[in-house]
Structure 1
């Protein structure tokens, strides 16, 4: 989605409004439009992000993610799984594909009310690149792929975080993770 047209439209509207104030108002409007461009883009991105979040809450278990590529946002839609529908073309494509189809997402817990929660996750750049590659390979958004990976990890036997244990030996300490 190209935000430039909306920012330009706002700039034009400000110029039209300044025309009524005379030359001083027009000059002031011209001086203000450049610094306001980044604030306008940020405000539009915040509005789009809020809209994507609202749509996601109505679309659950599907999702709508907002990604920023350069200066332009783009929407990534992950539709909810179809309920008992048969698509012959998709079935044929899946059978003929050399790439195996990804496993279905795990069933939600009985206590899951369908709501979502937002967290910030900071990954090293090399790990982020690997996550993006895996998500693309499975045909999922990064968010959907991470949700599936976390669910699969927690649903495995012993799928809890490893216990941290400290061991002391005469005069020297050892610290680490033990499974």
Structure 2
């Protein structure tokens, strides 16, 4: 970084201010400027070095240094190589399905004839018996949040009897 433009700007401003004092003011300013240039460079270097130190303290890693090269300043930025972030871990698996220990529970299910017929058709399309299809449907509904899509107690908007009405088949 070349400090000369900044020192020259200070010199011009001081010379302009000295014009008010006539010849005597200009001569005093010229003498002062000879001594002022090194002091101005040193003050600017101190400010730049302080800025580099503050930047370094804010960096999570690495640093910024200011080095003197003749009458100029050089910046040295030490930044560690960026390592790509590892991909996010896969979502944890859901709760393990209970082991099939061979015990079965018997359930009686009464369906309207039309619903039973539709269930039989769907089971046949899947190449399964009605019982196997129903077991798989219940298993799917009780794992992976499948029951959230149907709440028999939700208010369908058609009920005028209150919120305790149950929707579904009996």
Higher strand share: 1
Give the TM-score of the pair, scaled to structure 2.
0.47
Q: Which has the larger radius of gyration?
A: 2
